[in-house]
Amino acid sequence: MIFAAQTLSALDLTIVLVYIVATTLLGAWFTGRQKDTRTYFVGDRAIPWWLVLISIVATETSTVTFLSIPGVAFNPGNSERGIAPGNLTFLQLALGYVIGRMFIAWLLLPQYLNGELFSAYQVLKEKFNPAVQRTASGLFMVTRTFVDGLRLCLTALLIQQFTGWDIRVSILTLGVITLIYTYLGGIEAVIWTDLIQFAIYISGAIIAGGFIVSLLPGGFQEFFQVNHDAGKLKWFDLSTSPTADFTLWTGLIGGCFITMASHGADQNMVQRYLCAKSLGHARTALVLSGFLVFLQFCLFLAIGLGLSALVKADVLQIPSGTGNDEVFGWFILKHLPTGMVGLVTAAVLASAMASFSSSLNSAASAFVADFYRPLRPHHSEAFYLALSKGMTTFWGVAKISVALLVVPMIGERAVVNQVLSIAAVTTGLILGLFLLGTFKRPVHSRAALCGMLVGFLVTGCLWIKWVQKEPWLAWPWFAPAGVATTVIVAWLIDRLLYARTARIH
């Protein structure tokens, strides 16, 4: 970050504090409703579809999304380094997200809504054996802990710039507050606060976007004309290069598999579907979330285009050395009026807390449902509820600890962002297991685990080459590569070694 930290005005600080206190009190209000793990983890399966819809969108929207997506469209490019200017081609990925959710809705959702499941990975136990279930669940928990810790650290860096707090204080403040209301209120508190947080960050983005357009001398007409002349309104890229991040084929195919992995095989999302009243309600929420996320990306990208237009109109001067993903944050601090800064700062916190709280409750539910309860099935519901809250605390402390440990890396922002791509490596492997489970005759459990191991080696190599900036494939292809390798290798091993033997499930 190149812009100096500053102290919020009294009004801005009041807005932020009101938001934080209200969120915590909401979690406390739900405490009395937590009578068992069914209520704590799936809201007694009585959450309306529209609330599940909002929770899905809020959960997948992080602070990095809120501030970095505008930078994708703002990017002025660099002809000397061969970097093309930013445009709207990111939306091709969002089109793949819509398609992927439709596959999930009809291929995987019926498995999750059949019975009394608390974890997505309980399906794998039914299709294979407990070893496959726990391997997938453990991979989810470890990956989520690392990735969420990094996201928390990046969010704290932004809070530090907005408030002047020490970054470790920012990490502890954000992490502990989110942990408190998640611990107290369970999934119901998470989902209802998701609604509030969604309203805050969308309102903040819309208000900021409107203010940007109001600064343009020619208003909307200048907004469109300047970006049209600069080629920034381009939506489609028909390039067939396998190393290009945003092409139509990368978006439709890679985006489809990414969302199938992140929304179809990740407990963080599956838990939301389990809260719905019925399969039909879950399908409605999931499919509509794809369209809502598409519109959300349009809003964030439009903010980036607006900032670019302000620079072209010489209304906005960006300091030398400012990264593309820092421009919106710099604009918020330096150009929004008092009051609006507080609202948008609360929006930054909201996008972070929505993602973090969901992950805490999901990790706790995965541990209890996939590891502890199957091994110790005779305890009372009161015991399991206490254990669930204890695991929420454990995962909260673990994620906060990761965030604190990576603070020394914070100067190497590019390194941190590259590490975040680990999620694209692992989620495809788990999706491969779920797809293997849909076969009329599921493969042997050992074959499935072998396929997953080989898939990890393949996607790990792809990630290493990507980090080294010598990519064999663009990152959206990591999930399809993981899925394909896991499924094909498992099927081949099953056919070669286990086709004629008794299957152990």
Q: 46 exposed, middle or buried (CB, 10 Å; 0-12, 13-18, 19+)?
A: exposed
Of 362, 27, 365, 345, the closest CA to residue 176 belongs to 27
- The residue-averaged pLDDT of 226-231 equals 87
pLDDT at 503 over 50: no
- φ, ψ (nearest 5 deg) of residue 78: -150, 100
Banded pLDDT at 271 (limits 50, 70, 90): confident
pLDDT at 314 over 80: yes
Lowest-confidence segment of 65-69, 269-273, 490-494 by average pLDDT: 65-69
- The residue-averaged pLDDT of 429-441 equals 85
pLDDT at 487 over 90: yes
- d(CA 380, CA 480) in angstroms, rounded, equals 42
Give the model's pLDDT for residue 295. 94
- d(CA 493, CA 505) in angstroms, rounded, equals 16
CA torsion sign for 410, 415, 417, 420 is negative
Q: Span 10-75+100-225+253-407: which CATH code?
A: 1.20.1730.10
Of all residues in the chain, what percent carry a pLDDT higher than 70?
A: 89
Q: Which two tokens stand for residue 17?
A: 């504090």
Give the model's pLDDT for residue 289. 94
Banded pLDDT at 417 (limits 50, 70, 90): very low
Banded pLDDT at 307 (limits 50, 70, 90): very high
Beta bridge partners of 47: 276
Q: Measured in whole angstroms, how far is the alpha carbon of residue 425 from the centre of its chain?
A: 14
Of all residues in the chain, what percent carry a pLDDT higher than 90?
A: 18
H-helix or E-strand spanning residue 453: helix 445-467
332 and 106 Cβ atoms separated by less than 8 Å? no
347 and 205 Cβ atoms separated by less than 8 Å? yes
Q: Give the pLDDT confidence of 117-174 residue by residue, as tens digits.
A: 777 888 888 888 889 989 988 888 888 888 888 778 877 777 776 667 788 888 888 8
Three-class SS state of 412:
coil
Residue ranges of the domains in the chain? 10-75+100-225+253-407, 421-505
Residues in the chain: 505
Give the model's pLDDT for residue 406. 77
- The residue-averaged pLDDT of 460-468 equals 83
Indicate the DSSP class of residue 78: B
Q: Which two tokens stand for residue 440?
A: 């009329």
Q: Which residue has the tokens 């004309």?
A: 225
Q: Give the pLDDT confidence of 365-395 residue by residue, as tens digits.
A: 889 888 888 888 888 888 888 888 899 999 9
- The residue-averaged pLDDT of 11-16 equals 81
Gyration radius from the chain CA atoms: 23
Lowest-confidence segment of 126-135, 298-307, 328-337 by average pLDDT: 328-337
Give the model's pLDDT for residue 79. 59
- Read off the amino acid at residue 348: V
- Please give the mean pLDDT across all residues of the chain: 82
109 and 279 Cβ atoms separated by less than 8 Å? yes
Banded pLDDT at 81 (limits 50, 70, 90): low
Give the model's pLDDT for residue 83. 66
pLDDT at 80 over 90: no
75 and 85 Cβ atoms separated by less than 8 Å? yes
Of 388, 378, 359, the closest CA to residue 38 belongs to 388
Q: 229 exposed, middle or buried (CB, 10 Å; 0-12, 13-18, 19+)?
A: exposed
85 and 230 Cβ atoms separated by less than 8 Å? yes
Give the model's pLDDT for residue 294. 93
Q: Measured in whole angstroms, how far is the alpha carbon of residue 49 from the centre of its chain?
A: 20
